[in-house]
Structure 1
Amino acid sequence: MFHAAPTPRRELPPANEAPVADRTAGAAQPSGVPEPPPAAAPKAGRDAFFDNAKYLAIVLVAMGHVWEPLTDSSRTAEALYMTVYTFHMPAFIIISGYFSRSFDMRKDRLQRLVTGVAVPYILFETAYAFFKRWADNDPGHPISLLDPWFLTWFLVALFIWRLTTPLWKIVRWPIPLALAIAVLASVSPDIGDDLDLQRVLQFLPFFVIGLCLRPEHFKLVQRRAVRIASLPIFACALVMAYWAAPRMTSAWFYHRDSAQELGTTWWIGAVMTLALFGCSLVMVACFYSWVPKRPMWFTVLGAGTLYGYLLHGFLAKGSRFWGWFDDYPWLHTPLGQIAVTLIAGAVVTALCTPPVRRAFRFAMEPTMAWAFKKDPADTARTRERVNA
């Protein structure tokens, strides 16, 4: 859909994002998160389109999590679930890659990678482990930084993807290479669960696509013709998902298992990986075409999507541990499904707001100046300014 483009010579956006991803934003680009912009308008220099896209993607992530327990009793919920899972994380990951284009091994960028991605991973992986022990009455649940649990896989993936960014800048065909790696991963059951490498490798092509995009590529999918074409495409996707719901497992959309682990042959896994990649790109383009380009009431929330992504996980898992969907059968009715969908959107929206970001900034984007050596050149420049 998009052609790889050489790295622009003009200055690129800073390599901080939020899932999905959020220094770009984050959805997580789950890395750290920028200072909150003014309440009325996005911070100067920020593109409202990307903040809007990140916010809308994280809302879909939260809605998908409340649809999951409804899929056993509702074919419609399963169809919506499959449709959204086709594109919401790829959309988030592409933006994460786009805002990682300027990443290199410079000291300040490595520091932001540590404080904005590695530290939140350690803190939330630990917090999730203790939460599961308490909420699920599972005192034996291990605290393992090598085995990401639930949402923290994205932080591990972002850390690895960012570190490999310089490599993708120098290879001749980055997208085909990344796609080949994803296909090989999908047919390699021996990769194991360490660092959730299956997801890291199978979602890799979307990050590399983001690295290769330029602003004009996003403008292509924002044309009116694409927006109109996206309507029948979305309709066809929903119909196809409704047909496929009882015939295939939604685990294909998680990209966390090999084909053999899903009970099929390696060649079907390779075909499915390529087919889902193509479907995801089309659906992402349709999603981007409907993302507002102008500042909206929710634009300011785009800077806090990492917060919403990680914090809503406690409620998403807690609702299952505490049996809410089993104890209240009305949630499985059409009105109940609409209600929990709206509640999920409202909760994750609240978790992206500036007050929540201020409260949890210590965990999401700590400065940690004490942990890093001072750059002698910076010290010399500071001394010169003082003496001037």
Structure 2
Amino acid sequence: MKRRNPLIDNAKVVLIFFVVFGHVIQPFKAELKEIEVLYNWIYFFHMPAFILLSGLFAKGIADKGYLAKLFKRLIIPYVVFHFFYTLYYYLSTGADGWEWTVLNPQWSLWFLLSLFFWHLMIIVFKKIPTSLSVIIAIEIGLIAGFINEIGYTLSLSRTFVFFPFFLIGYFLTDKHLLALKRTWIKGLAILILTSVAVGLFLAPSFPPEWILATTSYEQLNAAGVGALARFAFYILSILMIGSVIAWVPETSNRFTHIGQKTMYVYLLHGVFIYLFRSNNMFKIDNVIDLFGLGLISFGIVLLLSSKPVRMITEPLVEAKWSLIRQRLNQNNQRKTYYETKSS
């Protein structure tokens, strides 16, 4: 079994924190320019980076039974959590009617659906020379914005728009990531990350759909320049992904193990986010408030990646019962030990 790369797991920990933190601060971006800038800055790289790292793990696509395992790992949890969140929102809001539209992903569940489709697309694209396949993927992402019918349903828009990141990740190796650790690249990374933040602060506000990739150029009233703007998004996102990874620790630490459990955090944190938003539990008046929300976000990451939570939710998240069986076996072994010792 191949040893996990601590750099990748550490990167996933950083990214899942930004996923939670981004959702926590989202309600305040319309009130404060600084929060809007921070939110957009995060969204320029955090999901593209997650998608790129997911591509790194797709190299077994040709293995026997891989697609069946993928269906179990992605589609079954998608259906389960789609039902769960639909029911949760219905009961929480007291809505008059019940509507379960499984073809329209609830909130962040789009990632599971798109991740499944990206693996299927890799089967074709891996047969094309690397550079050409990436160019074709980018062209598809650009062209998708011209078609109004490609939108939220089945997460088609995000599937096409974000596929280049997944494909690039598929062609990358650990050595490519480690190459980002050179001193001059780290210095350049700070310049890139700072420049994007300053640029976002100076730029006028823009619809979040530009970075969420959910709608067409026409629906964004930008049919003429939409493709150019999306291409700029691709360039900036790649630069930011490399810049963030350049500063991620490459050795194991006390939080590295969380990188193996990010799917639990991703699928479950919506419960907290909806609870916070529906009850207006927080506000941001100063930097201390923002720092406090950062601590709360990290606390959510720690809680949802903990073993007790994983043991309870594993059947839903991974469609298996290994942690529960492990605990039962440990209890049986302990019981047998004491019975043998007392006899």
TM-score, normalised to structure 1's length?
0.79
1:263 counterpart (216, 221, 246): 221
Separation in 2, partners of 1:63, 1:235: 19
2:193 counterpart (234, 243, 266): 234
Residue 141 of structure 1 deviates from its aligned partner by 4.8
Residue 355 of structure 1 deviates from its aligned partner by 2.6
Aligned to 1:208: 167
Indicate the SS of the match to 1:170.
coil
Aligned to 2:176: 217
| Deviation sequence 1:13-47 (CA, Å, 0-9, x none) | 6xxxxxxxxxxxxxxxxxxxxxxxxxxxxxxx111
Q: Which contiguous aligned blocks of 4+ residues in structure 1 show a shift greater than 4 angstroms?
A: none
Q: Does 1:301 align with 2:301?
A: no
Residue 205 of structure 1 deviates from its aligned partner by 0.5
Q: Quick one: which amino acid aligns to residue 50 of structure 1?
A: I
Separation in 1, partners of 2:4, 2:225: 42
Q: Quick one: which amino acid aligns to residue 228 of structure 1?
A: G
2:42 counterpart (80, 84, 92): 84
Separation in 2, partners of 1:115, 1:228: 42
TM-score, normalised to structure 2's length?
0.89
Separation in 2, partners of 1:52, 1:139: 44
Indicate the SS of the match to 2:15.
helix
Q: Quick one: which amino acid aligns to residue 134 of structure 1?
A: L
Q: Does 1:353 align with 2:310?
A: no
Provide closer, same or farther for how the CA distance between residues 305 and 69 of structure 1 changes in structure 2, counting only shifts above 3 A.
same
Q: Contact 1:104–1:165 (CA<8 Å) still a contact in 2?
A: no
Q: Contact 1:135–1:322 (CA<8 Å) still a contact in 2?
A: no
Separation in 2, partners of 1:93, 1:69: 24
Separation in 2, partners of 1:165, 1:99: 12
Aligned to 2:23: 65
Aligned to 2:330: none
Separation in 2, partners of 1:194, 1:126: 16
Q: Quick one: which amino acid aligns to residue 55 of structure 2?
A: G
The gaps in structure 2 that reach 5 residues or longer are: 322-343
Separation in 1, partners of 2:169, 2:271: 29
Aligned to 2:331: none
Indicate the SS of the match to 1:188.
coil
Residue 303 of structure 1 deviates from its aligned partner by 0.7
Q: Contact 1:132–1:141 (CA<8 Å) still a contact in 2?
A: no
Q: Does 1:131 align with 2:84?
A: no
Q: Contact 2:5–2:174 (CA<8 Å) still a contact in 1?
A: no
Q: Does 1:157 align with 2:114?
A: yes
Q: Contact 1:202–1:255 (CA<8 Å) still a contact in 2?
A: yes
Separation in 2, partners of 1:143, 1:95: 31
Aligned to 2:149: 190
Q: Contact 1:52–1:298 (CA<8 Å) still a contact in 2?
A: yes
Aligned to 1:168: 125
Residue 313 of structure 1 deviates from its aligned partner by 1.1
Residue 166 of structure 1 deviates from its aligned partner by 1.4
Q: Does 1:275 align with 2:228?
A: no
Aligned to 2:64: 106
Residue 139 of structure 1 deviates from its aligned partner by 4.2
Q: Percent identity of the aligned residues? A: 29
Q: Quick one: which amino acid aligns to residue 344 of structure 1?
A: S
Q: Contact 1:136–1:322 (CA<8 Å) still a contact in 2?
A: no
Residue 140 of structure 1 deviates from its aligned partner by 2.5
Separation in 2, partners of 1:297, 1:99: 23
Q: Contact 2:189–2:243 (CA<8 Å) still a contact in 1?
A: yes
Aligned to 2:53: 95
Separation in 2, partners of 1:349, 1:252: 31
My pick for the range that moved more, 168-177 or 276-285, is 168-177
Q: Does 1:50 align with 2:8?
A: yes
The gaps in structure 1 that reach 5 residues or longer are: 1-10, 14-44, 369-388
Separation in 2, partners of 1:123, 1:286: 36
Aligned to 1:379: none
Residue 222 of structure 1 deviates from its aligned partner by 1.9
Q: Contact 1:135–1:318 (CA<8 Å) still a contact in 2?
A: no
Q: Contact 2:150–2:215 (CA<8 Å) still a contact in 1?
A: no
Aligned to 2:336: none
Indicate the SS of the match to 2:97.
coil
Indicate the SS of the match to 2:47.
helix
Separation in 2, partners of 1:56, 1:74: 24
Residue 50 of structure 1 deviates from its aligned partner by 0.9
Residue 181 of structure 1 deviates from its aligned partner by 0.6
2:241 counterpart (240, 260, 284): 284
Residue 137 of structure 1 deviates from its aligned partner by 2.5
Structure with more of its chain in helix, by fraction: 2
Q: Does 1:341 align with 2:307?
A: no
Q: Quick one: which amino acid aligns to residue 340 of structure 1?
A: L
Separation in 2, partners of 1:297, 1:242: 35
Q: Quick one: which amino acid aligns to residue 359 of structure 1?
A: I
Residue 193 of structure 1 deviates from its aligned partner by 2.7
Separation in 2, partners of 1:240, 1:353: 38
Separation in 1, partners of 2:215, 2:206: 15
Aligned to 2:79: 122
